[in-house]
Structure 1
Amino acid sequence: MLPLTEKIIRASFANASRKEVSVLTLPPDFDELDWEAVDYLGWRDPKMSKRSYVVVPSGEGEVTAILLREADARPAARAQCTWCQDVKLPNDVVFFSAKRAGAAGRNGDTVGTLVCAEFQCSTNVRRPVPPAYLGFDVDAAREERILALRERAAAFAENVLRPS
């Protein structure tokens, strides 16, 4: 992911009001992020427990930022993250919803997804996978997982932008 500034992030929100954007708190480690190891930027707002944000690359140097709200209820069974689809589940997965952009969101339309609670997907897909068979290309499998994560996160962002 290309390095981002606070100004770029605040300007790229698709489904948040100016007030919501003005009160957001950036992640505490924002200045130390390793942008090479980040496929999307996601974090929880430390001041508002049910509010989170993701910033997803959406094309030629462009990004889409999305305000998420965590559901009050947790999945009844251990859920799998829709984005990284990590089978080891080193962390909790929660349901997040996002208002659609524009008039659809103002009318109450939302979309939802199951995502790692602390947005560790980029770390999860970079872990080496055990070789499935003799000659299995672990590096190619890892790159495939990274690409799939990027595609699924971008598809969610496109869904938020799509009028219902």
Structure 2
Amino acid sequence: MQPLDADAIRASFVNCSRGEAKSVTLPTDVPWPTRDFLGWRDPKAPGRAYLVVPWGPSVVGLSLRAAPPATSRLRSNMCGFCSTTHSLSDVTLFTGRRAGKSGREGNTLGTYVCANLACSAYVRGELKSNVPQPVETLSLEERVARMEDKVRRFVERILETR
């Protein structure tokens, strides 16, 4: 992903007000070359998360809400973006208001994703889950492409204005 400055990140949000975008706590020290999208949790408001995704020649930013963490560690779940298996508490339901009139009417869309939104790092093996992973025959490039497709489809559904 190409490096973005604070103004570009704040201007990218499509499902929140400009005032909300101004109050976003931005991440620091992002390893841009190894990120396919920028995702982070707000350290000042743990229930808030943000996703900034390359979108054609620009980027699209989404404001998300994180469901409270699960209390059981006995089960596991798979990330809807990177397909990494985690303990149940390390996968979170993230919901985002839909863009436009639909979102203003209260319509949301959700998906279960790595709680730390570090999917790019898991796909590349920079981070490891504490749960054994199924064996995959896909190459790194194919796994990255699969993840990018899943993220793109989620963003497309948020942007739908029907």
TM-score where L is the length of structure 2: 0.85
Matches within 5 A, 1:33-112: 33-60=30-57, 62-72=58-68, 74=70, 77-87=75-85, 89=86, 92-112=90-110
- The verdict on how the C-alpha distance between 1:131 and 1:80 changes in structure 2, with shifts beyond 3 A counting, is closer
SS of equivalent to 1:143: helix
Q: 1:141 aligns with which of 139, 142, 149?
A: 139
Distance (whole Å) between structure 2 residues aligned to residue 19 and residue 105 of structure 1: 16
Q: 2 CA distance for matches of 1:157 and 1:127? A: 25
Secondary structure at the aligned position of 1:39 is classed as: coil
| Paired residue type of 1:69 | R
1:14 aligns with 2:28: no
Q: Deviations over 1:48-105 (max 9, x none)?
A: 1200101011112x11100000123639742210000013x37800001000001000
Contact 1:75 1:94 in 2 (8 A): no
In the alignment, the residues of structure 2 paired with residue 114 and residue 158 of structure 1 have an alpha-carbon distance, to the nearest angstrom, of: 16
Segments of 5+ residues of structure 1 without an aligned counterpart are none
Amino acid at match of 2:8: I
For the residues of structure 2 that align with 1:69 and 1:56, how far apart are their CA atoms? 17
- How high is the TM-score relative to the length of structure 1? 0.84
**Structure 2, unpaired ranges of 5+:** 127-132
- Paired with 2:66 and 2:134, the residues of 1 have a C-alpha distance of 32
Identity %: 41
Greater fraction of residues in strand: 2
Q: Within 5 Å, which residues of 2 pair with 1:109-120?
A: 109-120=107-118
Query: Is residue 74–residue 95 contact of structure 1 (8 Å, CA) maintained in 2?
Result: no
Cα pair 1:94 1:116 within 8 Å, conserved: yes
Larger Rg, first or second structure (1 or 2)? 1
Corresponding pairs, count? 153
Cα RMSD between the aligned structures?
A: 2.3
1:87-128 deviation digits (Å, cap 9, x = unpaired): 3x3780000100000100000110000010101110111129
